[in-house]
């Protein structure tokens, strides 16, 4: 299996198939024949694309029918998106279990229906004059195993229907909290009304929901303005290929 990044995924303690070779960002070419044998590609998802947009683009460019991704990113988000080709699609479930790292900026004082920048504003309030010493403990209380209510605008299902379909239809449903684990939160910047965080977490954690909950704690609401996934396991954004780089380097 080919690993399309600088560091081999096999060095990370995961149940992945041993690698047959590596292709990194500096590689001049990416062989379609190598992809057909099974490969995991560390892609940098561009803003405005869905995860399936990336899959479809790479499927067409590579001419390989069996292509999938290991962990959805919202259209407004950027960063590491692992694309699996051919036999490597069997690794999707293992890859999805890996620890994730994100950097995100949230805006206090505004609530949106999707809890992110793409949503409709539903409430606005004055932002209190918070200090870093007040913000830090409020953020750190979310470290550990927590019960998190997922966003209504999400791909999760309720009685067989996607939550985002229910939300768009104006249907209100009661969502059950789910256990997720946040391993660490770093407060990178405070520039009110904006806070920038680095979050290391388990599968199933919604950073949009974390922004929503912090907004409630501060009594003014909040939404997620930007989100970048900087790491999945040992797959890092610094090693990611852009979609354009991937396409340009393809050879038969």
**Annotated active-site positions, please?**
74
Largest CA distance in the chain: 59
DSSP, residue by residue, 118-152: TSPEEEE-PPP---HHHHHHHHHTT-EEEEEPPPS
Q: Cα separations (Å) of 119 from 42, 64, 111, 153, 198?
A: 29, 35, 9, 9, 22
- Asked if residues 125 and 109 have their Cβ atoms less than 8 Å apart, the reply is yes
Please say whether the beta carbons of 122 and 161 come within 8 A.
no
User: Which of 2, 181, 174 shows the shortest CA–CA distance to 91?
Assistant: 2
């Amino acid at each position: 299996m080919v690993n399309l990044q600088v560091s081999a995924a096999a060095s990370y303690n995961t149940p992945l198939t041993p690698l047959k070779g590596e292709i990194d960002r500096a590689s001049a070419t990416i062989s379609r024949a190598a992809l057909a044998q099974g490969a995991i590609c560390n892609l940098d998802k561009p803003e405005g694309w869905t995860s399936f947009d990336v899959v479809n683009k790479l499927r067409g460019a590579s001419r390989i029918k069996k292509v999938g991704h290991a962990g959805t990113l919202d259209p407004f988000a950027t960063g590491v998106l692992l694309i699996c080709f051919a036999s490597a699609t069997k690794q999707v479930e293992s890859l999805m279990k890996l620890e994730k790292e994100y950097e995100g900026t949230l805006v206090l004082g505004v609530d949106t229906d999707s809890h992110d920048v793409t949503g409709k504003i539903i409430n606005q309030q004055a932002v209190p004059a918070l200090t870093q010493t007040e913000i830090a403990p409020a953020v750190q209380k979310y470290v550990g195993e927590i019960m998190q209510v997922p966003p209504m605008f999400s791909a999760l299902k309720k009685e067989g229907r996607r939550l985002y379909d229910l939300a768009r239809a104006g249907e209100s449903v009661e969502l059950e909290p789910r256990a997720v684990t946040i391993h660490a939160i770093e407060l990178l910047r405070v520039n009110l009304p904006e806070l920038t965080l680095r979050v290391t977490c388990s599968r199933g954690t919604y950073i949009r929901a974390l922004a929503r909950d912090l907004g409630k704690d501060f009594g003014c609401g909040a939404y997620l303005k930007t989100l970048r996934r900087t790491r999945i396991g040992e797959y890092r954004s610094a090693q990611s290929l852009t979609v354009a780089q991937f396409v340009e380097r393809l050879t038969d």
